[in-house]
Structure formats: structure tokens, C-alpha cells
Structure 1
Amino acid sequence: MKSFFEGIQWLFDNIILALHEVLRHLELSNWWLANLVSWTFIIIGSYYSWYWIKQLQSHKDNNEENQDTTAHSFLK
């Protein structure tokens, strides 16, 4: 049973979390390059949040949104 958990530890340490180790070592040498990954995710998330809000507004402007409180059966 001990070897099973050691296998899981090896999987996470050497395979799944290897990118985190690379970023940790990269941060010590170049902070800007290491944080480029974070800024990329922030920019992507901001774009898709803007797109989602734009789509919600277009549905609201076309009166396609059902805002009736009885739209769901559990609210009756």
C-alpha cells in the first residue's frame, strides 16, 4: 500500500506539477517572464468576461431573456 501512495507522489511531483517547478525556478532569474503566464491568463479571462457580458446585453436588448420569477418550476 505504501508503494501505491509513493507512486501517486511521484506522479504529482514529476509529471503534473513539473510546470510549477519550472516557473518557480524561472521566477528567481526573471520575474517578468515568470509572471507573463499569469498576465496571459488574466487577459484571456478579461476578454471572455467582456464577451459574456456583451452577449448577455444583446439577449436583454432583444427581449430574449425570460425574467419571470416562475421561469423555473421550483420557484412557483
Structure 2
Amino acid sequence: MKAFFEGIQSLFVDFLFVPMDFLRSLELTSWFGANILNWIFMAICASAMVYWILQLKEHKANNDEYQDTTAHSFFK
């Protein structure tokens, strides 16, 4: 059983975390380069939020929303 868990450790440490080790070593020379994944995720989240807000504005302008609180029987 110990060999099984050591195999999992080897998989993650020796193979799957190699890109993270590179980013950690890059931090000494370029902070922005080391945090590129964070910048990418923030850009994706910001663009998704802008898209969602624009869709909400469009539906509100067309009066497509049904905001009746009695739409479900458990709200009565």
C-alpha cells in the first residue's frame, strides 16, 4: 500500500507540478510572468461578468424577465 501512495506522490511531484515549479522559479525574475495564470483567470472571469451583465440588461430592456414571486407554489 505504501508503494501505491509513493507512486501517486511521484506522479504529482515529478510530472504534474513541473509547470508550477517553473513558474515558482520565474518569480525571482518576473513577478508578472510568474502570475500569468492568475491574470488569465481574472481576465476570463471579468469578461464572463461583463457578458452576463450585458445579457441581463438586454433581457430587462425587452421585458423578457418574469419576476413574479408567486411563480412557484412554495412562495405562496
* 1:75 matched to 2:67: no
SS of alignment partner, residue 27 of structure 2? helix
Q: What TM-score comes out, normalization by structure 1 length?
A: 0.77
C-alpha RMSD of the superposition: 1.9
Distance, in Å, in 2 between the alignment partners of 1:25 and 1:35 is 11
Ranges in structure 2 where 5+ consecutive residues have no aligned partner? none
1:42-66 deviations in whole A, cap 9, x for unaligned? 1222111101111111112212122
- The aligned amino acid for 1:24 is R
Structure 2 length-normalised TM = 0.77
- Which is worse superposed, 59-68 or 33-42? 33-42
Which runs of 5 or more structure 1 residues have no equivalent in the other structure?
A: none
After TM superposition, the runs of 4+ consecutive aligned structure 1 residues lying more than 6 A away are: none
Q: How many percent identity over aligned positions?
A: 53
Q: What number of residue pairs does the alignment pair up?
A: 76
Higher helix share: 1
Equivalent residues in 2 for 1:1-76, closer than 5 Å: 1-76=1-76
